[in-house]
Amino acid sequence: MQMLKAEIEPLIEAALLHVGITNDHWRSMLAPSRELDQGDLSLPCFPFAKQLGQAPPAIAEALAEAMPEHEAIGEVNAVAGYLNIKADPSWLAKTILSSPETHGHPFGQRQPTGRKILIEHTSANPNGPFHVGRARNAILGDSLVRLHRLYGNEVRAEYYVDDMGKQVGVLAWALANLSSEEVEATLEGRDPLNPKWKGKADHERVRWYQAAQVIRQEREDKDDIEKEIGRMVHASEHGDQQVLDDFQAAYTPVLEGMLTTLARLGINFDTFTKESIFVTNGDVGRLMQRFKTFDIHGTADNGAEFLDLGARGLKGKTEFFFRRGDGSSLYATRDIAYHMWKWQQCDDLINVLGEDHKLQAKQVGMTLTELGQKVPDVLFYSFIKLPEGKMSTRKGNVVFMDDLLEEAQAQAAAVVGALRPDYEHQQIKEIADAAGTSAVRFNIIKVSPEKGFTFRWEEALAFEGGSAPFIMYSHVRACSIVRRCHKEGIDVTAELENTNIDHPKEMSKGMVGLLRALSVHNDVLAKAVNDRRPHLFANHLLHLANCFNAFYRDCMIVVEGEVNTFNLQISEVARRMMRTGMEGLGIAPIEHM
List binders of RNA among 176-235 (CB under 7 A). Answer: none
DSSP codes, 46-108: TTHHHHHTS-HHHHHHHHHHHPPP-TTEEEEEEETTEEEEEE-HHHHHHHHHH-HHHHSTTTT
Give the nearer residue to RNA in terms of CB position, either 106 or 316.
316
Q: Which residue in the set 2, 242, 369, 454 belongs to the binding site for RNA (CB under 7 A)?
A: 454
Decide if residue 435 touches RNA (CB under 7 A). yes
* Interface with RNA in residues 562-591 (CB under 7 A): 591
Q: Is 510 helix (H, G, I), strand (E, B) or coil?
A: helix
Decide if residue 240 touches RNA (CB under 7 A). no
* Interface with RNA in residues 64-103 (CB under 7 A): 79-80, 82, 84
Decide if residue 359 touches RNA (CB under 7 A). yes
Kindly give, in sequence order, each residue whose CB lies less than 8 Å from that of residue 564, ignoring residues fewer than 6 positions away. 555, 556, 557, 558
Q: Closest distance between RNA and the C-beta of residue 511, in Å?
A: 11
32 near 15, Cβ under 8 Å? Answer: no
Decide if residue 166 touches RNA (CB under 7 A). yes
- Distance between CA 367 and CA 543 in Å, rounded? 43
Q: Which residue in the set 465, 493, 494, 500 belongs to the binding site for RNA (CB under 7 A)?
A: 465
Residue 184: CB atoms within 10 A of its CB come to: 15
- Distance between CA 579 and CA 107 in Å, rounded? 8
Q: Which residue in the set 109, 260, 280, 480 belongs to the binding site for RNA (CB under 7 A)?
A: 480
251 near 171, Cβ under 8 Å? Answer: yes
Contact string 9-48 vs RNA (x = CB under 7 A): -------------------xx-x-xxx-xxx--x-x-xx-
* Interface with RNA in residues 538-567 (CB under 7 A): 539, 542, 546, 549-550, 552-553, 555-558
Give the nearer residue to RNA in terms of CB position, either 36 or 185.
36
* Interface with RNA in residues 282-301 (CB under 7 A): 300-301
Decide if residue 466 touches RNA (CB under 7 A). yes
Q: Closest distance between RNA and the C-beta of residue 199, in Å?
A: 27
Give the nearer residue to RNA in terms of CB position, either 201 or 555.
555
Q: To which H or E segment does residue 240 belong?
A: none
* Interface with RNA in residues 387-406 (CB under 7 A): 390
Q: Which residue in the set 64, 193, 304, 526 belongs to the binding site for RNA (CB under 7 A)?
A: 304
- Distance between CA 333 and CA 349 in Å, rounded? 18
Characterize 230-245 residue by residue with b for buried, 16 or more Cβ atoms within 10 angstroms of its Cβ, and e for exposed: eebbebbbebbeebbe
Q: Which residue in the set 27, 317, 394, 486 belongs to the binding site for RNA (CB under 7 A)?
A: 317
Decide if residue 52 touches RNA (CB under 7 A). no
- Distance between CA 250 and CA 373 in Å, rounded? 35
Angle at 66 between CA 62 and CA 68, to 5 degrees: 155
